[in-house]
Amino acid sequence: MKLLHKPWLWSWVAAAAAFALTVTLTGGSGASELAYAALSFGAFAAIVGLGQMLVITLGPGNVDLSIPATMTLAGTLALKTMGSDPGTAWLGLGVAILVGLGTGLANFTLIYLLRLPPIIATLAASLVYQSIAIWSNRGLRIKPPEGLADFATGRFFGISNVALVGLALSVVIWVLLERSVWGRWLLASGQNLRAARLAGIPVEAVRAATYLAVTVFAAIAGYLLASFSGGAALNMGTEYLLMSIAVVVIGGTSIAGGSSNVPGVWGASLFMFLVVSMLNSYGAGAGVRLILTGTIIIGIVIAASTRRATR
């Protein structure tokens, strides 16, 4: 059975189960609201998860821990530049993308020139990014321009706009990985960096582009999240540190590198939102909720990896 061997299957099965269990409790009412909310909130996790997936595909030791700080910095600077003035949405997006390019460039410079392990380089650099965000924010909460806020919280044919942006980005990444030369180079570098270099692949360019892509995705997510929630907050990125890695792993991307999985990231992002709302609706307290979430994640990862091992 070929479908059973698809590594993304398990995250979607888990998301569907969490959805069904929640809806069962409410007797079927609120199903569409739940699906809408899952898509909206899941989209943020999916966008940062896609970036993290690319980095993890580069192979063992590659991970970007500066995602939360980059989200915060991009959200803060973009809203400050726009200053709630109408018609500045694209300017704000441009600022956010520039912030993403800047932090990505800084991360990769530390990794390449100073030969720091990515885990150290991105974590240390993120302290700087967070400090800049604190310094430029100064406790002010600037509202996004009205049109942008409407877009971020709005919907199109019943699907939230944020989810549509996330889906569009996913399609781009999928085409890149499956069809493009650059995607092939990334997948080859993740399997065996030395062999990839000896096959003529410009591995450092591939690594640089990947570390830039992850922060640009984080910056876009930060910009959308700030617009969605009515302003940037200094802790807005915190939960996405674990989330970005969890959705990649649950989604079936290999931690050993060289294999990516776009649909799995979406399944996992929906699951991560749905499992919390399921536990909420069953009345679990905060402590119980965290323990159960952790246990369920471990269970999914084990289920997914044993499936793959028997392939």
Partner 1 sequence: MHSAAAAAAPIVALTDAAKHFGAVRALDGVSLSISPGECLGLVGHNGAGKSTLVNVVNGGLSPSAGTVAFPASGAGSALGAGVRSVFQELSLCPNLTVAENLRISHAALKGLRWRGQAREEIAQALDQVFPGHGIAADAPVDSLSIAQRQMVEIAIGFAPRGTEARLVILDEPTSSLDAGIAEQLLSHIKRFCAAGGAVIFISHMLGEIFAVATRIIVMKDGRVVADEPAGRFTRQGLVDAMGHVAPDAAAVEAARSFGETVVTTPEGLTARRGEIVGLSGLAGHGQAEALARLYLGATSSWRAPKAAPMVFVAGDRGRDGVLPLWSILRNATVSILPRIARRGLVDRAEESRIAADWKARIGIRTEDVTNPILSLSGGNQQKVLFARALASDAPVVVMDDPMRGVDVGTKQDVYAMIRAEAARGRTFLWYSTETEEVCQCDRVFVFRDGQISAELSGADITEERILSASFEMAEA
Residues making contact with partner 1 (CB under 8 A): 175, 179-182, 184-185, 187-188, 191-192, 194-205, 254, 258-259
Q: How far is the CB of 253 from partner 1 (least distance, A)?
A: 12
Q: How far is the CB of 264 from partner 1 (least distance, A)?
A: 16
Q: How far is the CB of 5 from partner 1 (least distance, A)?
A: 13
State which residue, 30 or 202, has the beta carbon closest to partner 1.
202
Joined together, the tokens standing for residue 296 give: 């369920």
Joined together, the tokens standing for residue 105 give: 């460039």
Phi-psi region of 138 (alpha: psi -120 to 50; beta: other; left: phi over 0): left
CB 206 within 8 A of CB 189: yes
State which residue, 81 or 109, has the beta carbon closest to partner 1.
109
Residue closest to 18 by CA, chosen among 302, 311, 268: 268
Q: How far is the CB of 301 from partner 1 (least distance, A)?
A: 19
State which residue, 163 or 201, has the beta carbon closest to partner 1.
201
State which residue, 120 or 175, has the beta carbon closest to partner 1.
175
State which residue, 31 or 101, has the beta carbon closest to partner 1.
101
Phi, psi of 155 (to 5 degrees): -140, 160
Residues counted in the chain: 311
Q: How far is the CB of 98 from partner 1 (least distance, A)?
A: 23
State which residue, 22 or 57, has the beta carbon closest to partner 1.
57
CB 255 within 8 A of CB 2: no
Over 262-274, what HEC string results?
HHHHHHHHHHHHH
CB 196 within 8 A of CB 189: yes
CB 179 within 8 A of CB 200: no
Q: How far is the CB of 204 from partner 1 (least distance, A)?
A: 4
